[in-house]
Amino acid sequence: MVFPRNQWYVAAYGEEVGDGLLARTICGEPIVFYRTRSGDAVALADRCVHRRFPLSEGHRDGDRLVCGYHGFTYEPDGSCVAVPAQKRIPRTARVPVYPVVEQDSLVWVWIGDGDADPTAIPRAPWLAADGWVVVRGMEPLEARYELLVDNLMDLSHETYLHGGYIGTPEVAETPITTSVDEEAGVVRVSRRMKDVECPPFYANSTGIKGRIDRWQDIEYQPPCLYLLHSRIAPAGLEPAPDGDDSAAFHAEIVYGITPSTETTTFDFWMVARDFALDDPEVTTYLAESNRTVVMQDVVALNLLEKVIATEPEGYQELSINIDTGGLAARRLLQRMTDGS
């Protein structure tokens, strides 16, 4: 199983990790998450050292985890403090602990062996900042994570897969500029649309009636964090010379692209907006509409995974200009995987 290792991945939303035991397989590694009484998120290997029983099927005893099979009991640091019917605890009775950091309302877990530097975690500050309202969800994908990366790096598919929501003809027709920062390991794809149709997703949420200028600036920080800086404004409205862009509407579309197994993925999706902050109808509309859009992708990508599973060895894809960013992302991911 090959994934980029020695990397941080989004494992959960902060609110998902609590008193209960949350089981998630990240990059092929089964992990159980919970929160101690002091509020710290904990991640332990979800396999009892004794007979492999998933610890997530056990229960808590205070901050300790008790295996539901034979009662092996573990501290949050992974050390075993009790085994059944004997006092001596084998020296090797310990489960691996995963470094965890909570940042921007996300629970990040380190998959790998190297230095888990928390400053290396990419930021998505809008998710927990004043002046922004967030809707979000997580959809399990029955598809490899690379397919979601491909999908998100080429937004021309919005025109065809998401018509009536976020897709308009101009998305697929507008040229793109792609850049790769080789040192930072970031791929950016920019699509700036002028005087175009406003899709229902933004017309209904912003209240704009006419045509718009629409910016889509992708910033992918592989392997896990994808940002789409979306700017919506009435056609012709440019940011002020001093950079003030408060007259425009902004949505920060965030994805956590987290491989689970070779052919399954956690699709964390988030939409943060800086408009209609006090309007619950807009919140509900964006949550429902965006989930619909995400599910359109889920259906398509699940289908693609099935196609790949049955295709002959050595099948050749065809790439065109719209794939410039996706190819760059693939290369950076491969570099990370090779470096693992």
Partner 1 sequence: MSDALLRVVWSPGSDHLTGVCHCGAEYRADGPIEVWQWLLAHPDHEAGIEAADHGASTEAPGHGASVETVGHGASIEASDREASVETLGHEASPEASID
Binding site for partner 1 (CB under 8 A): 144, 146-147, 175-184, 308, 314-321, 323-324, 327-328, 330-331, 334-335
Which residues of the chain form beta strands (DSSP E)?
7-13, 22-26, 29-35, 41-45, 59-61, 64-66, 73-74, 80-82, 100-103, 106-111, 133-141, 177-181, 186-196, 212-221, 225-234, 249-261, 264-273
- Is the Cβ of residue 136 or residue 330 nearer to partner 1 in the bound state? 330
Q: If you search the block for the tokens 């590694």, which residue do you land on?
A: 29
**What is the DSSP track for 130-182?**
TT-EEEEEEEEESS-HHHHHHHHH-TTHHHHHSBTTTB-HHHHHS--EEEEET
Query: Shortest Cβ distance from residue 151 to partner 1 (Å)?
Result: 13
Query: Shortest Cβ distance from residue 198 to partner 1 (Å)?
Result: 21
- How far apart are alpha carbons 137 and 165 in whole angstroms? 18
Task: Name beta bridge partners: 233.
Answer: 213
- Is the Cβ of residue 273 or residue 330 nearer to partner 1 in the bound state? 330
Query: Shortest Cβ distance from residue 182 to partner 1 (Å)?
Result: 4
Query: Shortest Cβ distance from residue 208 to partner 1 (Å)?
Result: 24
DSSP at 323: G
- Is the Cβ of residue 129 or residue 336 nearer to partner 1 in the bound state? 336
Query: Shortest Cβ distance from residue 336 to partner 1 (Å)?
Result: 11
- Is the Cβ of residue 56 or residue 178 nearer to partner 1 in the bound state? 178
**Residue 195: which region, alpha, beta or left (left: phi > 0; alpha: psi -120 to 50)?**
left
Q: Which amino acid is at 156?
A: S
- Is the Cβ of residue 10 or residue 180 nearer to partner 1 in the bound state? 180
- Is the Cβ of residue 82 or residue 336 nearer to partner 1 in the bound state? 336
Query: Shortest Cβ distance from residue 54 to partner 1 (Å)?
Result: 28
DSSP at 239: P
